[in-house]
Every structure is written in structure tokens, then in C-alpha cells.
Structure 1
Amino acid sequence: MDLLVTLMMLILFIILLVFVFSVGLMTPVVGKRNILFVIFIGFMVGVIGGTFFISPIYDDIPEIVRGFYEATSNAPETVYVDLSHDVDIKEFIDDVRGVEGVKDIKIEYIFLKTDNFTSERGELIKNGIPVIDSNVTYCKVDPRGTILCGIKGGDPQATIDRISDWLILTGGIYTKYSVVRVSIDTNANKINNLREYLSSKGIAISSIKGPVEEKIENLKASMPPKSAVVVSCGLIGILTGLAGIFIDSIMAFLAAIRRKLGR
């Protein structure tokens, strides 16, 4: 949500409060017995405004704060992306190294989703993959059809192809899809450069780790639920309606205070 939309939603919410205030001003005409009606109108209008105008802004607070931190901090951040098998990994790595602010990029692991296999076959796979490819440092398997391998170098695409061919030849196990997890080290104030490059390639960020992201997570944990924000808007509507009802008394009270302070 951009700044213009945010300002428009705030203005619309204020307009609703002005309406509630105007209803409160009418109490000398409609009678004090209708104070409960004004309170009800204030609460309902506040809740409606909170739901449609304030809640979207509230949802965007973490992203607004993240943008501020990223613009003002050079703290190190690690960006994780998952690349499908049809991405040229070597070309991707070379391109990312040229993005301003990127310090390092490395392959975290490769993940294969396969046909299900037995536990016994899983042990054979776990022990056999590091033998058929020396670039594999460890291997974790799940008989429900998942294989995760850490690699120390080489071409991850070639490793995936080698493993897939070996699985078919030795057990008739087909690979449904594969993912290469890559980590990219950069600075918080340069992360938008990386976002723009990834977006141009149609690649989504899986996760981000670092001081800025920790602050955002702490902020999210401390934020009250959205329902509490909506109810608070309803209470603001009630207070606005009451202010309209008792505006004369409020103004007289403030005038009295000013006279006392002026002495």
C-alpha cells in the first residue's frame, strides 16, 4: 500500500468520525434520551471504519517499518530463495554476484520430491547418494518421498540429474520435482537491489534472516490482534459521539482552565 492510499484511508476514517461527531451535536434537538443511540452509532461507525480503513493500514505496519529499517541500516541480511530445476544455477549465481550490495552467495542444499519408497530403500538411498556424487556432504531421506542433500560445490543441476537417474535405475523411483535452496548475503540498505533482480527473473524470496528481520518479527509478536484494533476504533467512535454531545460542557471546562492559567 503506497502513501497516497494510506492517507486516503485515514481521511475517510476521519470523515466517518466527523459524521459521528455531527450526530452527537444533534442531541439538543433529538433529546438527551437518545444518548444511547449516539453511542451505538459511534461504535458501529467506528467498527466499520476500523474494518475497512484502519485494518489494511495496520496490516501494512510491519512492511512500513521494514522499509524504514532497510533504508537506514547497513546490517547484514541473508536472503534465501528456492530455485526450480529449470533455472540455470551457474548463470544465476554469476548474475547475483553482480548485483550491488551482494557479498556472497552459496548453495545451501538440494531438495527432491520423489515417489514413495520403503524404509529399507531409504537407507540405501541415504548411504548411496554420497557415493555416486562426491559433492554431496550429507543426505536426509523420508520414505514419503523427500530427499534433502547438502552439497559443497560442483554443478547442483548435474547432481540432481545424477541422483534422479540413479534412483530410476536402482529402484524405479521417479523424481517429481526438485528445488535448489540458495542463500545470498547482502546489506539491509541494499536488499531492494536484490529484490528488483529476483522480481525481474520471476523468483520469489523464501525467507530473510538478520537483525532487521528479527526486529520485524518482534514487532509482529508485540502487535495486538486485528480484532482489538477494530474494537478500539469502535471505542474512538463512541468517544467522538460523546464529544459531540457534551461539546458545550467541554468548551466551558477548557475556557475555565484557560482563565485560571491566565491569572
Structure 2
Amino acid sequence: MACEFMDIVTTIIYIVLFIIMMAFVFSIGMLKHYMPKREVILVLFVAFLIGSVGGAFFLEPIYEELPNMASVVEKNMPNNEETLYLDLSSSVDTNELRNVLSGMKGFKSFDETSISIPMWSFNEQEHEYFDSIVGNIDSHYKDYNVTSDRINIELEENYTSSEALKTFSDWYKLVYGETLSYAQIQAVLVVDSYELESFEQALLDKGIVASHIDGPIQDSINNTNSSMLSNVQFVLVCGGVGVIVALIGIYMDSVVPAYRRFNKFMNTKRKR
């Protein structure tokens, strides 16, 4: 809560500082009467420069947070869930990880779905051999796929990666007399959307980052990102705002009387 409050205060300060910069640009524009006409171009250039710098330093950090701001509604909707796809090293104790995650608020499920075992580059005969034998090693292998240098095994529900790796390792040692040094585990974690950040931090503390996330929050972030300007484009737009503010200052003496005449005309028309 304190961190969010500081973020709000920082955002307000940055916006106020940008407004102050625009007020300075406006005041420069109003000095048109005291400068030669050819200096107007210089004023507009300075206005563009100030707007760009102000946008880059004060508004761009806020702009970059728009996807997270847009996801706040989805984050607080009841029953929304996020699905995190994890690629884990076989050195990770998945049982301990499961215990840690399942004890957290917002936990829904944690399933180890498959293992991927890197091998050497198979020749045709070796590829055919592994393709025919892997399915017979363990009846809990739901499915498997043998590529040119890797064996991918899908696991049955409630069958852990450690059990699957043990049966394959035992077979491999029996046939080849060697032990496997590494494998990759694919797991799926489902959590409440509101607690997504807590789970991401818990995973990060163990050196784990989700390879992919599906859910309302991530969809909202992706949709917002796809509609946003690039950082360079945003800075240029801020520079354009500086130019517009400068032009308003330059032509203020013409704009104000015109506005008053227009307002007087509209009031007269209403009375009729």
C-alpha cells in the first residue's frame, strides 16, 4: 500500500513538472512582440526540444506503466485466474516448490505436464530405436516425441517429473551404463489474478521466470501494448505538444479576442 501511494505521488509530481515546463514554453511564446519575426522559428524549435525532454523524463515513465494500470480492473475481478507456464531445471526440487506455492494465498493448482531430455544428435537408426522403445519404459508416460537430439515425454495426471525422470534414468543407465546430467521440466501454475505479482515474486526468489502467462491480466497488458506508441513516437508527440503550447502563447493576443467575439455571438444567438 505504501509503495502504491508513493507511485501515485511520483506520478503527480512528474505531471506537475511537465505542466510547469509547458507554462514556461507558453510564456516564451507570449514574448513574440519583443523579438524579431525570424526568431519565432527558434522559439518553436526550443518549444519542441523542451516538450521532448519533458516527455522523455517525466511522462514516458508514466506512459510505460499504462499496461499495468489498464490491468488493474482485471486484477480485481473475482474468479479471474492466470496460468503461468514454467520451464524448470531438473535440479529444482519440484516437491518443495509445490509446497511453497500451495501454501500461498490465491493458489489454484500446480501440475508437472512433461519433461524434455536433451540427448546427442541421433542418426537414423538411433532415432528409430528411441522412437520405438521410450513408450515401453514407463506406462505412466502419456505420450512422447523423439526429435533429432531430444526426447519429450508428456506425463499422466498426478505423476511427477521426478518419478518419470527416475524410470528413464534407471533404464538409460542399465542400457548405456551412464547417468543423465540434465533434463527440463514443464509445469503449469494456476493462480488468482489478484495474487499474480506475489507468485511471480516467489518464483523469482527461486530464480524462476514464467516462459508464458495466459489470463485476463496478461491479455489486458498485451492489448494495451499493441495499441501504444513506441518510446520515440511518444517523445515526438510530447515535442509536438510543446510546439502547440508555444503557438497558443504566440497567438494569444489574437485567440482571446476571437474567443470573446465568438462567445458574444453565441450568447446573442441564444437570446434571439
On whether the aligned pair clears a TM of 0.5, the verdict is yes
- 2:74 counterpart of 1:69: yes
Give the Cα–Cα distance (whole angstroms) in 1 for the partners of residues 18 and 33 of structure 2: 25
Q: What's 1:27 paired with? A: 32
**Equivalent of residue 233 in structure 1, options 233, 238, 244:** 238
Deviation at 1:172, TM superposition (A): 8.1
**Equivalent of residue 205 in structure 1, options 206, 210, 222:** 210
Cα gap change, 1:73/1:258 in structure 2, threshold over 3 Å: closer, same or farther?
Answer: farther
Kept after mapping to 2: 8 A contact 1:76/1:187: yes
- 2:8 counterpart of 1:3: yes
Q: Which segment is superposed worse, 201-210 or 164-173? A: 164-173
Give the Cα–Cα distance (whole angstroms) in 2 for the partners of residues 11 and 73 of structure 1: 35
TM-score, normalising length from structure 2? 0.81
Cα gap change, 1:28/1:197 in structure 2, threshold over 3 Å: closer, same or farther?
Answer: same
- 2:87 counterpart of 1:102: no
Cα gap change, 1:161/1:76 in structure 2, threshold over 3 Å: closer, same or farther?
Answer: same
SS of alignment partner, residue 103 of structure 1: strand
SS of alignment partner, residue 104 of structure 1: strand
**Equivalent of residue 155 in structure 2, options 129, 145, 151:** 151
**Equivalent of residue 214 in structure 1, options 205, 210, 219:** 219
Amino acid at match of 1:233: C
C-alpha RMSD over aligned residues = 2.8
Give the Cα–Cα distance (whole angstroms) in 2 for the partners of residues 79 and 233 of structure 1: 37
Give the Cα–Cα distance (whole angstroms) in 2 for the partners of residues 61 and 172 of structure 1: 56
Deviation at 1:262, TM superposition (A): 5.3
Q: What's 1:88 paired with? A: 93
How many equivalent residue pairs? 262
Deviation at 1:49, TM superposition (A): 2.6
Cα gap change, 1:58/1:256 in structure 2, threshold over 3 Å: closer, same or farther?
Answer: same
Give the Cα–Cα distance (whole angstroms) in 2 for the partners of residues 21 and 197 of structure 1: 49
Give runs of aligned pairs for residues 138-217 of structure 1, distance below 5 A: 138-143=143-148, 145-152=149-156, 153-164=158-169, 166-167=171-172, 170=175, 175=180, 177-217=182-222
Deviation at 1:55, TM superposition (A): 2.8
- 2:67 counterpart of 1:44: no
Q: What's 2:247 paired with? A: 242
Kept after mapping to 1: 8 A contact 2:143/2:155: yes
Kept after mapping to 1: 8 A contact 2:22/2:245: yes
Cα gap change, 1:9/1:158 in structure 2, threshold over 3 Å: closer, same or farther?
Answer: same
Kept after mapping to 2: 8 A contact 1:65/1:216: yes
TM-score, normalising length from structure 1? 0.84
Alignment gaps of 5+ in structure 2: none
Cα gap change, 1:218/1:18 in structure 2, threshold over 3 Å: closer, same or farther?
Answer: same
Alignment gaps of 5+ in structure 1: none
SS of alignment partner, residue 139 of structure 2: coil
Amino acid at match of 1:44: L
Deviation at 1:236, TM superposition (A): 0.5
SS of alignment partner, residue 72 of structure 1: coil
Q: Percent identity?
A: 28
Give the Cα–Cα distance (whole angstroms) in 1 for the partners of residues 34 and 18 of structure 2: 26
Kept after mapping to 1: 8 A contact 2:101/2:107: yes
The C-alpha deviation readout for 1:51-87, integer Å capped at 9, x for no partner, is 3333332222112222342123532321222222222
Give the Cα–Cα distance (whole angstroms) in 1 for the partners of residues 62 and 100 of structure 2: 36
SS of alignment partner, residue 107 of structure 2: coil
Deviation at 1:240, TM superposition (A): 1.0
Amino acid at match of 2:152: L
Amino acid at match of 2:187: V
Deviation at 1:29, TM superposition (A): 1.1
Deviation at 1:227, TM superposition (A): 3.0
Kept after mapping to 1: 8 A contact 2:112/2:160: no
Give the Cα–Cα distance (whole angstroms) in 2 for the partners of residues 66 and 126 of structure 1: 45
